[in-house]
């Protein structure tokens, strides 16, 4: 089917192409085009199914009405939820979203920014990976609207939004300590990211505040480690840590590895071991007796990120704080519900 052009609309309406262009671009009053004529042109455009050529509009206005979204992964529950909400919210402002993911690979992140730049996206929402500092600085230097989401670089002045990771782990640790657990392990990953640093620090501070030792209670996995090796590492950690009573997993994918390890060891939750995870997952809700977790408010994070970007694009109305940390929630389920009988 032939695409209806601006010239077609002009011919049917009996006016010049420039008049149609002014009307369709909201400049009828400015160009002193009567409301009657403007209404007739809009009706013809609607009837004929006219849709502006996005390339032509981009060339004319310098705007593509497309946003670039770069997240860590599009396969995980958390980032999938963020992406869906951002797409829905962006549509309210007339924008489409191009999804991409870095898998925490700095070079891939750099290439994705280059690809989105070639697509002439109007703004970027980025979950940064270690090593992307210079790429972010270059976007800022080029006056590109940028919002960092789920993480940020402390030395770069750019709007960001994420959950308060330190607060989340402190909440979780307070809960398990209150339940009577003392030998609490912590499983994390070797990513040089502010959120991972905050989670580890909160664990260490909680244990110190309670007068508890952390020696040999922290396991750090390599991010690039394959799944089977990760499971073996967690299995060995649980098996070979004397009197281990509970484990706090710093991310949900680490928690999934932990469940596999616990299953292989034949342990029962929470009778043999208590478990808590940072970030929720459908498996944690369904796995008997339910996995206690720190839940990130994905909807609030996504909407806030989009609002911060709209502010830079001149379409927001907040004008408030641009560096935002949102409180997470503690979801108590069966893996920490019962006080473990500890003979000390």
- Both 145 and 158 in one domain: the answer is yes
- Both 233 and 290 in one domain: the answer is yes
- Both 146 and 188 in one domain: the answer is no
CATH code at 135?
Answer: 3.40.50.2300
- Rounded Cα–Cα distance for residues 30 and 292 (Å): 60
Q: How far is CA 194 from CA 57, 166, 251, in A?
A: 40, 10, 14
Please check the confidence at residue 30 and state whether its pLDDT lies above 70: yes
- Provide the pLDDT confidence category of residue 1 given band limits of 50, 70 and 90: low
- Both 173 and 141 in one domain: the answer is no
The verdict on residue 220 lying in a domain is yes
* Domain count within the chain: 3
- Provide the pLDDT confidence category of residue 35 given band limits of 50, 70 and 90: confident
The verdict on residue 141 lying in a domain is yes
- Provide the pLDDT confidence category of residue 343 given band limits of 50, 70 and 90: very low
The verdict on residue 205 lying in a domain is yes
Q: What DSSP character marks residue 335?
A: G
- Both 280 and 198 in one domain: the answer is yes
Q: Does the N-terminal peptide bond of residue 270 adopt cis geometry, omega within 30 degrees of 0?
A: yes
Q: Smallest Cα–Cα separation from 116: which of 142, 140, 98? A: 98
Do 244 and 183 contact (CB within 8 A), yes or no?
A: yes
- Both 214 and 101 in one domain: the answer is no
**Mean pLDDT within 204-225:** 96
- Rounded Cα–Cα distance for residues 330 and 251 (Å): 14
Q: Which among 16, 33, 52 is the end of a domain?
A: 52
- Both 118 and 80 in one domain: the answer is yes
The verdict on residue 342 lying in a domain is no
- Both 39 and 89 in one domain: the answer is no
Lowest-pLDDT range, 49-53, 188-192, 230-234, 321-325?
49-53
- Token pair, residue 11, equals 């011919």
The pTM of this model reads 0.81
The verdict on residue 344 lying in a domain is no
- Rounded Cα–Cα distance for residues 99 and 121 (Å): 12
Q: What DSSP character marks residue 226?
A: -
Q: 149 is in which domain, residue-wise?
A: 62-162+298-325
Q: Is 26 left (phi over 0), alpha (psi -120 to 50) or beta?
A: left
What digits encode the pLDDT tens for the residues 48-80?
A: 888 766 555 554 555 678 999 999 988 778 899
- Rounded Cα–Cα distance for residues 200 and 325 (Å): 17
- Both 103 and 195 in one domain: the answer is no
CATH code at 27?
Answer: 1.10.260.40
The verdict on residue 16 lying in a domain is yes
- Both 39 and 125 in one domain: the answer is no
- Rounded Cα–Cα distance for residues 68 and 90 (Å): 11
Do 164 and 328 contact (CB within 8 A), yes or no?
A: yes
User: Please, which contacts does 223-232 make with residues 24 or more away whose CB atoms are closer than 8 Å?
Assistant: 223/104, 223/189, 223/190, 223/191, 227/257, 230/254, 230/257, 231/257, 231/260, 231/261, 231/264
- Both 144 and 184 in one domain: the answer is no
- Both 260 and 318 in one domain: the answer is no
The verdict on residue 343 lying in a domain is no
The verdict on residue 155 lying in a domain is yes
Give me the pLDDT at residue 344, please: 40
């Amino acid at each position: 089917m032939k695409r209806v052009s601006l010239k077609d609309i002009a011919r049917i309406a009996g006016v010049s192409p420039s008049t149609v262009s002014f009307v369709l671009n909201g400049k009828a009053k400015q160009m002193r085009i009567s409301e009657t004529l403007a209404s007739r042109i809009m009706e013809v455009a609607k009837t004929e199914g006219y849709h502006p050529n996005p390339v032509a509009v981009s060339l004319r206005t310098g705007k593509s009405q497309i946003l670039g979204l770069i997240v860590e992964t599009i396969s995980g529950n958390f980032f999938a939820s963020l992406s869906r909400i951002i797409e829905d919210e962006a549509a309210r402002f007339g924008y489409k979203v191009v999804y991409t993911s870095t898998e925490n690979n700095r070079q891939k992140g750099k290439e994705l920014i280059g690809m989105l730049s070639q697509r002439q996206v109007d703004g970027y929402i980025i979950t940064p990976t270690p090593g992307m500092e210079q790429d972010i600085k270059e976007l800022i230097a080029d006056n590109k609207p940028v919002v960092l989401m789920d993480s940020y670089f402390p030395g770069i002045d750019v709007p960001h939004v994420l959950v308060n990771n330190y607060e989340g782990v402190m909440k979780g640790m307070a809960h398990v300590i209150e339940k009577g657990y003392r030998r609490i392990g912590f499983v994390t990953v070797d990513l040089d990211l502010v959120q991972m640093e905050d989670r580890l620090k909160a664990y260490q501070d909680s244990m110190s505040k309670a007068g508890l030792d952390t020696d040999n209670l922290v396991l750090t996995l390599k991010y690039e480690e394959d799944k089977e090796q990760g499971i073996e590492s967690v299995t060995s950690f649980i098996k070979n840590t004397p009197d281990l009573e509970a484990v706090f997993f710093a991310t949900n994918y680490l928690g999934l590895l932990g469940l596999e390890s616990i299953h292989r060891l034949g342990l029962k939750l929470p009778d043999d071991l208590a478990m808590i995870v940072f970030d929720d997952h459908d498996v944690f809700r369904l796995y008997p007796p339910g996995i206690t977790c720190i839940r990130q408010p994905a909807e609030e994070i996504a909407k806030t990120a989009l609002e911060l970007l709209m502010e830079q694009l001149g379409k927001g109305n907040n004008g408030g704080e641009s560096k935002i940390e949102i409180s997470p929630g503690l979801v108590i389920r069966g893996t920490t519900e019962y006080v473990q009988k500890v003979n000390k």
